[in-house]
Structure 1
């Protein structure tokens, strides 16, 4: 069965054109199809609800002739969202409450110097065997910390093996979250007692040195925080609106989460 929204077909050619925008998604084809379906749902709702002045249409049609239709569609969708998706602006009190509950997010300058031994997951190596070997080397490292660099040179699948596993100085945001949580929780000279698992594989992690930063004052980040919270609220409101539109549409060939009523959580 083909994919359609209220009898409007989502063609294979359209999916192929959309696919490069989702190359990094876990399931690129699925992500491309869902994006096209949601765009069509929005576009149909916009055509039913949004009236654009003739002068606006003429300006869009003449701005870039080859992309005129796409520009008009984008403008219709933007106008629809502006009309239908309402989200409150956070107050100073709400911003300050969020700030005080999440002080770690507003630290600046935290620094660690870390090393690791990476056991990379590959199709040719059974995960159980890889984990067993990684655990064996972890116990060696914990028992004889002075051998960490030698173990990294021998066993690590990372290019850092050439320098004894050293990753140099790292600040927050430079590594994947699960790795970051560990390195910023260890004391200088400490080796994590457990393997750290990321999408890159299994890691034995040691922190060489660490330096604490400072928490930025609320007045310094108040405006940026208000913008961030407003965007979060708007994103939730848009998601809610899309669920309602999806629930009201006749969508064939793909399953999307929708709601038949505005009373949806």
Structure 2
């Protein structure tokens, strides 16, 4: 989230038959990183205005390694949703860096095992991230970490403000705002799933930790089948049609 770089490890283990695919992937990742650097640079304090792709990439790379930089990145600020479904669903849509995207095709997962992995791992992590940003924004004195400019690192496990005091929790103010202007809009994570609702219900029944996130409104879970444009909202009482058709 500071450099927009993706490094492919153990490239020597890739079979020769897949080397061309790998090179295309590496090239696509590099291009995506440069484009993302341009988008982030448009918002980062002190970043160049309307930079060329190469200049934006060099800038975010340098500031991510600058220990004096109090605004090294906003790679996760603004996160609002995770979309689980075929990538064609969001193709051509400018999501403004606010959504986690997880490719999923329900037709290729009749047992639901892949969806269960997604709902119990990536969705939970996305909720952690979203929750940390949420509370660091709405209650920064209690759940945030104050300003970076007076932080002292303690034992590699946390920070304190100035020379002492309690370990600070959450995110520093510079991760969610510039001065009094919020860079992060606090909202609970929206989870959009393209899958049969009964499949989701079965997964929630087996995983009470995820079910609690839904039932207690820590996340907003909407689902639909590809055959229907109608989204349904999952609550403690079951599924209800969502009042607004998303995307219309």
- Higher-helix-fraction structure: 1
TM-score (norm: length of structure 1): 0.23
